[in-house]
């Protein structure tokens, strides 16, 4: 029995067969595709983070100004209080008795009244300012808390994306140089068959006006690498490219695929015009720009460059016109 058990060990300890080149490629592409959704979520959180940071900065500026106003009011109230003590600390009847001139006493009493009025007004102003500053502090505290929550969420999404990309890199690194070369050659053949191109060129299609300006910019980015979370000028993710292109044409678009989808006027596939934004898979995963002739320009995924690809190279979901 012992001998039999020993004889089984080599079989049990054998490593699982390594995946084939095609299997690795499919796994890597799947990981890259899975990284797109959290990338867009990360972009949305980062936009919220910027907004909250601006609100926090504004609140802190307001607090500083109000604190300065309170300090100035305190400086005014101090001398007024001292004057009141000097002029009003004695019983009025005694003041009249000590005064050799009743008119002089009346003048001093009137001045004292004015001093008291000014002090009361300054005190009321300071009390109002203190209430305002307390409210500002409470608002700022809430905004700071929200900001910290978005920072934590952004870090979580960043970690999720990086974990998928790291796994993809490990798969690629497990291949031999010959296997990687074969995979790249296969991809190039597929791209050529599908009409995918990332060579630098100039847009010469039928678009005009702002749409042409946006496409001119997009074409100038051909061959630049995809990088998640990037809006240029040296690299882009998908919504980073569409946003930068239309920004160059004078149109401000929101940051993420989902936000761009929600902001645009929807157009049917049959009514597409060059410059329209194309959404593949769903309304929040991947987008690009229609260039005409059934093709689109987009920033595809990690490991690839801005390219022109067939419109139907991915499942078409919708289109919008900025």
Structure tokens at 240: 């980073």
Burial environment of residue 89 by CB neighbours within 10 A (0 to 12, 13 to 18, 19 or more): exposed
How many angstroms separate the first and last alpha carbons of the chain?
A: 76
Write down the catalytic residue from 286, 290, 302, 307.
286
CB 38 within 8 A of CB 160: yes
User: For residue 82, how many other CB atoms are within 10 A of its CB?
Assistant: 10
Would you call 238 a catalytic residue per the annotation? Answer: yes
CA 170 to chain CA centroid, Å, is 29
Write down the catalytic residue from 66, 298, 301, 322.
298
Element housing 187 (H / E): helix 177-194
Structure tokens at 86: 């000097």
Q: What is the rounded CA–CA span in Å between residue 56 and residue 74?
A: 27
Q: What is the rounded CA–CA span in Å between residue 134 and residue 68?
A: 14
Would you call 245 a catalytic residue per the annotation? Answer: no
Q: What length is written for the chain?
A: 322
Element housing 146 (H / E): helix 102-173
Cα within 13 Å of Cα(175), Cβ side: 21
Q: Write out the DSSP string of 232-248.
A: SSS-B-HHHHHHHHHHH
Q: What is the rounded CA–CA span in Å between residue 321 and residue 275?
A: 8
Write down the catalytic residue from 56, 238, 297, 306.
238
Active site residues: 238, 286, 298
């Amino acid at each position: 029995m012992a001998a039999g058990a020993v004889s089984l060990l080599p079989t049990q300890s054998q490593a699982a067969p390594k995946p084939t080149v095609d299997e690795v490629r499919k796994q890597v592409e799947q990981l890259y595709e899975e990284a797109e959704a959290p990338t867009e979520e990360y972009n949305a959180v980062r936009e919220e983070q910027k907004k909250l940071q601006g609100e926090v900065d504004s609140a802190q500026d307001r607090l500083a100004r109000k604190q300065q106003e309170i300090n100035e009011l305190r400086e005014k109230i101090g001398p007024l209080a001292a004057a009141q003590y000097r002029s009003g600390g004695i019983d009025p009847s005694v003041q009249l008795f000590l005064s050799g001139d009743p008119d002089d006493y009346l003048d001093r009493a009137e001045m004292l009244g004015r001093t008291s009025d000014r002090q009361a007004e300054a005190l009321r102003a300071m009390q109002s300012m203190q209430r305002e500053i307390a409210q500002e502090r409470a608002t700022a505290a809430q905004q700071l808390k929200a900001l910290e929550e978005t920072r934590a969420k952004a870090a979580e999404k960043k970690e999720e994306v990086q974990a998928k990309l790291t796994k993809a890199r490990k798969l690629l690194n497990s291949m031999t140089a010959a296997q990687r070369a074969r995979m790249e050659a296969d991809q190039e053949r597929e791209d050529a068959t599908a009409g995918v191109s990332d060579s630098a060129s100039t847009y010469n299609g039928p678009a005009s006006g702002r749409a042409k300006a946006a496409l001119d910019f997009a074409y100038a980015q051909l061959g630049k690498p995809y990088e998640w979370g990037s809006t240029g000028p040296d690299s882009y993710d998908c919504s980073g490219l569409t946003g930068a292109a239309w920004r160059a044409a004078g149109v401000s678009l929101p940051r993420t695929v989902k936000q761009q989808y929600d902001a645009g006027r929807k157009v049917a596939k049959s009514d597409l015009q060059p410059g329209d934004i194309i959404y593949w898979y769903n309304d929040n995963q991947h987008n690009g720009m229609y260039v005409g002739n059934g093709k689109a320009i987009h920033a595809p995924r990690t490991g690839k460059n801005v390219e022109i690809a067939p419109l139907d190279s991915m499942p078409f979901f919708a289109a919008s016109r900025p």
